[in-house]
Amino acid sequence: MTTIGSLSPTHWYNLAADFPEPLPPALHPATREPLRAEDLEALFPRALIDQEMSTERFIAIPEPVREVYAKWRPSPLIRADRLERALGTKARIFYKYEGVSPAGSHKPNTAIAQAWYNAQEGTTRLTTETGAGQWGASLALACSLFGMTCEVWQVRSSYEAKPYRRYQMEVYGSTCHSSPSELTEAGRAILAKDPQTTGSLGMAISEAVEVAVAHQDVHYALGSVLNHVMLHQTVIGQEAIAQLVQAGVEQPDVVFGCAGGGSNLAGLGFPFIGRNLTEGTSSRVVACEPAACPTITQGEYRYDYGDVAGMTPLLKMYTLGADFVPPAIHAGGLRYHGMAPMVSHAVDQGLMDAVAVPQDEAFAAGLIFARSEGVIPAPESTHAVAAAVEHARQAGQGETILIGLSGNGVLDLPAYEAYL
């Protein structure tokens, strides 16, 4: 019998099976009717479409995907005892560290799966968007392992501020463009309206989707937001559950994960929410988003496009509006106007909480973490660290805190300069 929580999961966990109320369906952008599987065939392989629409509790991880995972999974769960002493907290703090992957973040958990399923259908090239570059680098890595290439549109502010991620993509054999670009109709239209725009993930998605639908041998891959991406990331939380039990912790009191599109947060938090719903545990899961892009805490829960040009399906999600352009904060991976429908539904159903963290507080916490634990968190991860630090300072005796450290910040060191 498959259960939630294994050091080496053989299945992904699908929270859609356990929601008290069904997840609202995605809608076709033209008809506004519930999306059909065939509506997505220009973008994704059939296996991923099936996963996107599935309500099965567990979906088997293909053996070739597990073989690649085994190069770094299970990722370590670490007791942050030095951070505990630095804060003077009575709580126990653990962090699940995804920065050990070859790309330095949690993103390969879904990149490997998506690339493999596409390769099985004979796809040779993928298009995608990326913010800080962690997703673009991860998909480039995955494509290189399965004999494919990818073409990445990176949000302009990050393309200019984070050149090393672009170099990483190119090392893996893929290409990266600044978005918006002159290469697509969507990009040209955006630049005509605002030549100085810093870009957004919504703009980059429009460009990547446009190229994918125009070529029969090209598919699109998304690093967050969609249901199948949330699914693939649940190896994180399943491992964390088993590792905590090994450490003598039956359940954490509170779980903190950074939230942009939702994949890291879902990967860590959904298995804990699943246990709450099916086993009666009571772990609190908290989405930690940037105050500069407060999608959950200030957005509306409604149907909206996932991109600026209106090419994607309409998704029921917390959104700031598809045309919202966030400030050029250092946490480029969290600069998205919407939130994953599954995460949004979990918040709406009262299964998950959310907080907004200012950038200054995030980096201050990142420095505390680096100087106590030795790991430099990615700017995105510092938001979860900051919320956990604030909570830990007032935590009671015996409380257990779990932080999702979604990636390392070695390629983001210039972002820390202003806070030294």
Q: What confidence tier does 331 reach under pLDDT thresholds 50, 70, 90?
A: low
Helix axes 359-373, 379-392, angle to 10 degrees: 80
Main-chain phi, psi angles of 300, to 5 degrees: -105, 145
Q: Does position 384 have pLDDT exceeding 60, yes or no? A: yes
Q: What's the whole-number average pLDDT of the chain?
A: 94
Amino acid at 242: A
pLDDT band (50, 70, 90) for residue 329: low
328: pLDDT strictly greater than 70: no
Residue type, 338: G
Residue 172 has a pLDDT of 97
Q: How far apart are CA 216 and CA 195, in angstroms?
A: 31
Contact predicate 268/240, CB 8 Å: yes
pLDDT tens profile 45-101: 999 999 999 999 999 999 999 999 999 999 999 999 999 999 999 999 999 999 999
Nearest Cα to Cα of residue 183 among 160, 149, 212, 157: 212
Category of 117 on φ-ψ map: left (φ > 0), alpha (ψ -120 to 50) or beta:
alpha
Q: Which residues does 214 contact at the CB level (< 8 Å), separation at least 6?
A: none
pLDDT attached to residue 100: 97
Phi, psi at 38, each rounded to 5°: -65, -20
* pLDDT given at position 37: 95
> What does the pLDDT look like over 8-40, one tens digit per residue?
999 999 999 999 999 999 999 999 999 999 999
Rg (CA), the chain: 20
Is 195's pLDDT higher than 70?
Answer: yes
pLDDT for res 77: 98
Tokens of 316: 């029921």
Contact criterion met (CB below 8 Å) for 316 and 340? no
Q: How far is CA 184 from CA 25, 156, 296, 303, in A?
A: 29, 15, 31, 26
By three-state DSSP, how is residue 378 classified? coil
Q: Indicate the SS3 state at residue 83.
A: helix
Domain boundaries, the chain: 64-105+228-419
User: What are the E-state strand segments in 90-249?
Assistant: 92-97, 125-130, 149-155, 175-179, 218-220
For domain 64-105+228-419, give the fold: Rossmann fold (3.40.50)
pLDDT for 366 beyond 80: yes
Write the CB contacts of 414 (distance below 8 Å, at least 6 apart in sequence).
Answer: 161
Q: What's the mean pLDDT in 242-248?
A: 97
Confidence band for 333, pLDDT divided at 50, 70 and 90: low
Query: What spatial distance separates the first Cα and last Cα of the chain, rounded to whole Å?
Result: 51
The arithmetic mean of pLDDT across residues 145-164, rounded, is 93
User: Largest Cα–Cα distance of the chain, in whole Å?
Assistant: 59
> What percent of the chain stands above pLDDT 70?
98
Mean local confidence (pLDDT), 306-310: 81
DSSP 283-300: -EEEEEEETTS-HHHHSE
CA–CA dist 388, 377 (Å, integer): 14
Burial of 195 (0-12, 13-18, 19+ CB in 10 A): exposed
Which residues are within 8 A (CB) of 24 and not within 5 positions of it... i.e. 6 or more apart? 316, 341, 345
Q: At what angle do helices 263-279 and 341-348 cross, to 10 degrees?
A: 40
Distances (CA, A) of 49 to 37, 38, 115, 229: 6, 9, 14, 11
pLDDT of amino acid 158: 87
What token pair was written down for 254?
């509170």
pLDDT of residue 330: 59
d(CA 326, CA 332): 10
Where residue 408 falls among pLDDT bands split at 50, 70, 90?
very high
Element holding 198 (H helix, E strand): none
C-alpha distance from residue 326 to each of 232, 301, 322, 330, 336 (Å): 27, 18, 11, 11, 8
